[in-house]
Amino acid sequence: MGTVEAPTKKKSDNSTKTERISGSEAVARILAEEGVEIAFGYPGGAIMPVYDALYDHQDEIQHVLARHEQGAIHAAQGYARASGKVGVCLATSGPGATNLITGIADAQIDSTPLVCITGQVASSLLGSDAFQECDVIGISMPVTKWNYQVTRAEEIPEALAKAFYIARSGRPGPVLVDITKDAQFDQLDFRYDKCTHLRSYVPVPKLDHSKVKEAAELINNAKRPYVLFGQGVILANAEDEFKQFIEKTGIPSAWTIMGLSALDTDHPLNVGMLGMHGNYGPNLLTNECDVLIAIGMRFDDRVTGNLSKYAKQAKVIHLEIDPAEIDKNVKTEVAVLGDAKESLTELIKHVKPNSHDEWLQKFRDCDKLEHEKVIQEELNPTSDILSMGEVIKLINKYTNGDAILVTDVGQHQMVACRYTKFNKSKSNITSGGLGTMGFGLPAALGAALGEPDRKVICVVGDGGFQMTLQELATIYQTQAKVKVLLLNNEFLGMVRQWQQLFFEKRYSSTELINPDFQTIAKGFYIPTNKVTERRNLEEAIKEFVESDSAYFLEVMVGKENNVFPMVPSGSGVAEIRLE
């Protein structure tokens, strides 16, 4: 986000009182002041003073010891996405800090609020290639919303106040504060004031009411309007306003995988999933609408396909909080900059009650064709081979759409997002923009700790699971009730599908010779089961969902099953394939 100036602080009643404490103690107190209840991390030499200070704050802040820094930051992401709070992650210098980078990049592209605190070598050693020294500021700059290196203890309060404010305000994102070891040890006169404003930083653009009226006029005159909604609806807590808007206007609405769960799956105006493996109608009819209303989404390439063939006939309205996303990929007719909740509240006042039954029926006609060609066989296979879809169908039966679904990346992710039913927002947690294999298991841990009263179902493939399976130990240690569903096809399934369709079945380095996952789960003291035949599937799913503890269920599914529909790479959305 670039350089910002010093914060204008909100003065509290005791703002003139100070206390002489260490920098590390200041970090611990600030976390408590900011309402941090759980922090994820992994200790090491350069962050050890902070960990020592946290020892005296265990009643306020639970520290979750991951088994790898990547696990820690993905857990912080899952926690933030499920709870709506800022996720906090701690790591030491050098490899500890660099192991966070994948998760930071993931959080940046998926707008997840994180505060990452890394230790650093003493300021006198900076630039000397000291043991475990690394330029984490330089490395993380492209993938953070803001980052800063603290070299003096007295900088800590202001830096962390700014960090929390930037992370959670406007379009959320990850920030990183790197603190040298001497700054952690040194003393400062401590006073903490939360940051509420930064000069030159405008997290929420001022709503232009004339643009809202322009958008409303286009919507009121549209014959075939179409809404695309993304995670921006969830981040703005605008689910109710969004529902009011589409119900008043009667506009068919489709979701990105990051927007999934903002609207109940079975809502009559919910027409399904956008994107490469989305539903047939939402993709095909993008090129038949006359007004396209994008709300809190960024026209990612997986949604648009070939931009030269994308919605050229439509006038585009874009409701967006981040000015950088306007006209970045798709040219807009009207851009409504602002918070989605505020923008929708105002837009509802100006749109006219309407219905578009004939237009909506075109989506339903596409649904019927997709059901005949794809969904029927996926959910009710006629072969003896188990499908991913029939497993998800049974998950729906026993969760009633109330669970949090956390997925890793691959075929299972697309199937789970396509077929899982949702009745509550903040229920779909997945790695959208970066597509990070290994995300699922630790993110599910974070989600379970953030929302302990909800069931958390983690759907993983045998490839991604093996990237972070060590976090089963963290699940056991925290007693988090994560239910891990491994859909095992003994392949890197999504890559294999592409190799089959576009590389003449040359399966180069995608077949997996897997370990005994049952033994692994038992080694982490987690109840486990394995299904290889349909006759055992429903009973196993029921036990899995209804278990009152963590549980590991492995289901052997078809090795060479493919996920359809599919928009081939380089194709337009209207060129979506059903087979």
Residues with catalytic roles: 69, 131-132, 181, 494
For residue 557, what are the CA distances in angstroms to 404, 409, 432, 566? 23, 16, 24, 20
Q: Residue 288 corresponds to which tokens in the numbers above?
A: 């038949």
Element (H, E) at 20: strand 19-22
Intra-chain end-to-end CA distance of the chain, in Å: 43
- Give the orientation angle of helix 440-450 with respect to helix 69-83, to 10 degrees: 50
Residue with tokens 């699940």: 475
- Closest among 405, 387, 432 to 107, alpha carbons compared: 432
CB 526 within 8 Å of CB 483: no
Q: What does the alpha-carbon distance between residue 425 and residue 172 come to, in Å, rounded to a whole number?
A: 17
Helix (H) or strand (E) segment spanning residue 176:
strand 174-180
Q: In what order do the strands lie in the sheet with 428-429?
A: 428-429, 404-407, 456-461, 482-488, 551-556, 528-531
φ, ψ (nearest 5 deg) of residue 178: -100, 120
CA separation, residue 570 to residues 149, 163, 286, 307 (Å): 42, 39, 16, 9
| Pair of tokens at residue 76 | 């912080």
Taking the C-alpha atoms of residue 447 and residue 483, their distance in angstroms, rounded to an integer, is 11
Euclidean distance between CA atoms 168 and 234, whole angstroms: 14
Give the CA distances from residue 468 to residues 414, 436, 465, in Å, rounded to whole numbers and listed in that order. Answer: 20, 11, 6
Q: What is the DSSP letter of 425?
A: S
* Residues near 63 by beta carbon (within 8 Å), at least 6 away in sequence: 38, 39, 40, 41, 51, 54, 90
Q: In the Cβ-directed half-sphere of 382, how many Cα atoms lie within 13 Å? A: 4
- The DSSP secondary-structure symbol of 577 reads B
CB–CB of 465/437 below 8 Å? no
Q: Which two tokens stand for residue 576?
A: 């979506």
Buried b (16+ CB within 10 A) or exposed e, 156-169: bbbbbbbbbbbbbb
The count of other CB atoms within 10 Å of the CB of residue 433 is 17
CB 247 within 8 A of CB 267: no
How far apart (Å, rounded) are the C-alpha atoms in residues 27 and 39?
12
Q: By the 8 A CB rule, do 546 and 481 touch?
A: no
Listed in sequence order, the residues at least 6 apart from 541 whose beta carbon sits closer than 8 Å to its beta carbon are: 391, 394, 395, 397, 398, 553
